[in-house]
């Protein structure tokens, strides 16, 4: 059940008929893994903690750098030099002490990644590199966990939800596995702060929808955001039956 304090804290979203008390209870009983406590992970962690997701696993092996602060809004000037996970945990505890926080300060190898993905209900990929994205996707397909994937670089953002529980859903590899995606990161190519905030906020929204079971998630659709012209486009994306990650695992 929800306590009086929880009913009050979450009252504005409980008011929504799509959430209601049942949805809030589902959030309280949910666990999410956030891979990367950077520009995308910052709004994701802030909103999921504020919304009352019961348990958040925070994964990042990096420490806060002065150049992060332009966009990684969970960290502040005081936290430069500190582990990103520790910096995020103190901020999240201040926002909502009721959320259980689990720290993953070392890089997740394939075994620990698989075990952690299996221990949660949804995974949010907020990393900044292709090899991590591929590893997270493979672990999600293997464990049958929905993956909310976001990316932003320069003035362009992308967002999609991959849900292996749905037969028609593609996985990340179906979409990006064949392309020779350049290995540019924000530290090399640059990025504008509010764009990662926007993509991260949408990732948090999609995760809340998946966990509380309302609305229509962004499955089988790729949202493209052009920050320069403020245009949103949507592409239909199909599952690749020959995909080396999800192709045989499903049958």
Minimum CB separation from Zn ion for residue 219, in Å? 13
Give every strand in the sheet of 55-59, ordered side by side.
100-104, 55-59, 31-35, 122-125, 147-153, 156-162, 221-226, 231-236
161 counts as binding Zn ion under rule CB under 5 A: no
C-alpha radius of gyration, the chain, whole number: 17
In whole angstroms, give the CA distance from residue 171 to residue 194.
Answer: 27
In whole angstroms, give the CA distance from residue 243 to residue 226.
Answer: 29
Sole binder of Zn ion in the list 174, 196, 218, 223 (CB under 5 A): 174
Minimum CB separation from Zn ion for residue 123, in Å? 15
Residue 85 tokens read as: 């996970």
Minimum CB separation from Zn ion for residue 77, in Å? 42
Q: Which of 128-136, 201-209, 211-219, 241-249 is the region at the interface with Zn ion (rule: CB under 5 A)?
A: 241-249
171 counts as binding Zn ion under rule CB under 5 A: yes
Q: What count of Cα atoms within 13 Å lies in the side-chain half-sphere of residue 12?
A: 3
Q: Nearest to Zn ion by Cβ — which residue? A: 243
Residues in binding contact with Zn ion, number by CB under 5 A: 6
Cβ proximity to Zn ion, 37 vs 140, nearer residue: 140
Residues that bind Zn ion (CB under 5 A): 171, 173-174, 243, 245-246
């Amino acid at each position: 059940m929800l306590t009086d304090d929880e009913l009050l804290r979450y009252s504005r979203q409980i008011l929504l008929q799509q959430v209601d008390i049942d949805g809030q209870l589902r959030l309280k009983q949910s666990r999410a893994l956030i891979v990367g406590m950077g520009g995308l992970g910052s709004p994701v962690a802030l909103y999921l903690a504020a919304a009352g997701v019961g348990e958040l696993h925070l994964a990042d092996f990096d420490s806060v750098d002065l150049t992060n602060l332009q966009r990684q809004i969970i960290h502040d000037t005081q936290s430069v030099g500190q582990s990103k996970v520790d910096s995020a945990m103190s901020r999240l505890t201040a926002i909502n002490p009721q959320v259980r926080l689990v720290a993953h300060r070392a890089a997740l190898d394939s075994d620990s990644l698989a075990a952690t993905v299996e221990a949660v209900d949804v995974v949010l990929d907020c990393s900044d590199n292709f090899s991590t994205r591929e590893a997270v996707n493979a672990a999600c397909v293997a464990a049958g966990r929905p993956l909310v994937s976001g990316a932003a670089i320069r003035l362009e953002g992308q967002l999609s939800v991959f849900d292996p529980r749905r037969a028609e859903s593609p996985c990340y590899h179906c979409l990006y596995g064949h392309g020779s995606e350049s290995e540019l990161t924000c530290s090399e190519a640059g990025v504008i702060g509010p764009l990662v905030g926007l993509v991260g906020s949408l990732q948090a929204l999609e995760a809340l929808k998946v966990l509380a079971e309302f609305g229509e998630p962004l499955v089988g659709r790729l949202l493209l955001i052009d920050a320069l012209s403020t245009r949103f486009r949507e592409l239909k994306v199909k599952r690749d039956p020959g995909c080396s990650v999800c192709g045989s695992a499903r049958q």
